[in-house]
A and B are shown apart, each in its own frame.
Chain A
Amino acid sequence: MTVTTTAAGTANVSAATANAAASAAATAEATGPQSLTMAKALNTAMADAMRADSSVLVFGEDVGMLGGVFRITDGLMAEFGEQRCFDTPLAESGIVGMAVGMAINGMRPVIEMQFDAFAYPAFEQIVSHVAKMHNRTKGKLKMPMVIRVPYAGGIGGVEHHCDSSESYYAHTAGLKVYTPATVADGYRMLREAIDSDDPVMFMEPKKLYWSKDQVDLGALRAEHDAGTSTEGRAAVARPGTDATLIAYGPSVPTALAAAAAAAEEGRSLEVIDVRTLVPFDDETVCASVRKTGRAVVIAEAHGFASVSSEIVARVQERAFHYLAAPILRVTGFDVPFPSPKLEHYYLPSVDRILDAVDDLQWED
């Protein structure tokens, strides 16, 4: 299928955006390991997907000329034109609802919700249509769309800019929920989400947007083209033997820091990065817990009725006899996400994780 893009449409793109396009093109050509931010990895994933398939469209609020408030769509309008990357009127239900129609009619929309809490006006479309269309039509209509949501705290953001909303989506039958924690996974998982014929809530930990890693885009592209999949595959982010820290998204670096600190005290912690909350990788997570016999689940979201409670339930259902202690959780408190000056007291910290590990009933 072809979508014609008019050159005239891009004529008013600012110099800044044109530069961004040039830098995107430069990234596209680079091979070998290079230092890349998560933001750039996500941006490159979208650009690669748009190059590969003209039915991939990017739209939302401020994603065009501005390149998104986090610049994740930077340069896409300049490269692909205003028909394939564009700003919509300011209405989240409209964005998601229109994406549903586009998905029905042959497109693969990749849409951006500006911040976690600003996706709530779209909740009805997401829950009542995006999640259910495939099931209602017995698979006759697929929903190949990605809803990108910058989420969680840690950036000193003001109210409504820091919610961990993943549990609402994970609780909704019919949605896949991905959340990358590394730069390479940012690329891998977004490409896979765009390829997917199922709707994916793509939860981007906003505090990790500017985290950097050495990644080889050429290798990642080859991996993609070979059809390698991360869906339903948790990663062992750090091997260990004494206890398992189960984390995802923004909490993975915190868990890794805790494991590093514990190692200095002679305790070997394994860190599992769940990567896709739906579908959940019972196998990898339970294998780790069977091996270590102890586990702590870490998440920024409120603990009550959450993804973290689901993880505890699943693991104890499957690995009860291997457990030397109850599985504990370190989560955000069950209070509205606090103001910038108080968020530090709310967020899971290395100390809280280490305290929880200490509480895992070590006999000696």
Chain B
Amino acid sequence: MTIHADHSAPETAVEDQAADVRTKFGISVEDYMLPARHQIQMVNPDGTLRPHDEQGTEPGHEYPTPSDAELMAAYEQLVVGRRVNDQNSALVRQGRMAVYPSSHGQEACQVAAAMCLSEGDWLFPTYRDAVAVMTRGVDPVEVMTIFRGDWHGGYDPKEHNVGIQCTPLTTQLLHAVGVAHAAKLRGENTVVMAMCGDGATSEGDFHEALNFAAVFHLPVIFFVQNNKYAISVPLSHQSVAPSLAHKAVGYGMAGERVDGNDLVALLAVMDRAVKLAREGSGPLLIEAHTYRMQAHTNADDATRYRPDSEVAEWQAKDPLTRMKSYLADKGLLDDAASNRIAEHAEAVATQLREGLGEEVPVQPLDLFKYVFAKPTPQLKEQSDMLAGELAREESAK
């Protein structure tokens, strides 16, 4: 392996960046790093396009509208994502899945986070990001294995460059930084998408990850889905910063806010972020404003801490209905296309029902099989003990 790049930023990094920004965008580095005054929003909740001068864009914070083809492909994934969320919640109610942290209401973020990446890029998801993982191409049944309770993970991270879904909050952000760093040292142009929630931004690892990414000038996009709650705790208890995107400037990276239920705006913002990161801008922080429509997981009771009226308010901002009317008005989505997409979503739901419905026999001896790359005598002894127990049980039958 050849190491091409250098890790440390040059002595003049700060001045260089300021000069780059001035040439590229004609604005000061502070104006580049601070989020635009308003969140980026292109489509209204009723599906109408916002006038260009009301989309929140500013000099240096300009976002071209994604192509029709991209919008249609993303819409299809959006419909599939919603169907998957609802199917999984049903499987939990039927006792076929142990737990499911649904991204119902956040599907636009899920789809955009995966679709903006290229094949060689990496995605680091949380427990809530199953739809993003699927959108990246991972087999849906493999994604859900973790929630069925067979094993702590179900897919091969290297097959689609997707880290295992991570529960200890924000620990995965540092892994994202490491993957980007290794790629940079090898001279590869890999962009890494690092996902977390609003509550998670309070964890220490969030700070460390952003700082590392900035200091090593790495192409990492920190994508925060601000769904307003961390279990029961509202955002106001996590941070009193003007916005989570404003945290970027403190690390020396650019931040932006986007309507997280507006797939058009999300794709525009994320596509540009990936492009900038790939061109060498260093890391970026994007905060998407969305809402966790359901309880934290099936084990949680959201009525204890938030009013129904708030949920209803967000229901009216649903990402699916918005995108659907936008595309229909634009003449891109006719009945035939709608039906085809609905069929695709149904096919994935069926795949999940069938894949998760069948009882897969667990392999007790797998407990010992993967702990180490090079097995130890102690684990061999314990494995033999369990095997003996199982054999005795079998012969007693």
Contacts and interface: CB of A to CB of B under 8 A. Distances in A.
Contact of B367 (A65, A93, A342): A342
A323 B305 CA distance: 57
Interface stretch (A100-108, A139-147, A207-215, A332-340): A332-340
Interface stretch (A34-42, A130-138, A152-160): A152-160
Given A117-B168, A334-B379, A334-B382, A341 B371 contact: no
A338 B148 CA distance: 13
Given A62-B231, A333-B368, 15 more contacts: A14-B305, A65-B232, A66-B232, A89-B202, A90-B169, A90-B203, A92-B203, A156-B149, A158-B98, A333-B367, A333-B379, A334-B382, A335-B368, A336-B152, A342-B151
The 8 closest A-B pairs by CB, nearest first: A340-B149, A66-B232, A89-B202, A345-B364, A90-B199, A90-B202, A159-B152, A91-B202
Nearest to B379: A334
A94 B378 contact: no
Given A158-B167, A333-B382, A94 B362 contact: no
A89 B238 contact: yes
A17 B304 CA distance: 8
Interface of B: 98-99, 146-152, 167-169, 199-200, 202-205, 230-233, 237-239, 299-300, 303-305, 362, 364, 366-368, 371, 378-379, 382, 386, 389
Interface string A76-98: 00000000000111111110000
Contact of B364 (A90, A91, A342, A352): A342
Contacts of A304: 378
A120 interface: yes
Contact of B231 (A69, A120, A334): A69
Contacts of B366: 342
Contact of B371 (A62, A335, A342, A352): A335
A321 B237 CA distance: 60
Contacts of A92: 203
**What DSSP secondary structure best describes chain A's contact surface?**
loop
Contacts of A33: none
Q: How large is the interface on A (under 10, 10 to 19, 20 to 34, 35 or more residues)?
A: 35 or more
Contacts of B167: 158-160
A121 interface: yes
Contacts of A202: none
A40 B166 CA distance: 32
B149 A339 contact: yes
A320 interface: no
A92 B304 CA distance: 23
Contact of B386 (A117, A341, A345): A345
Contacts of A338: 367
Contact of B152 (A87, A88, A156, A339): A339
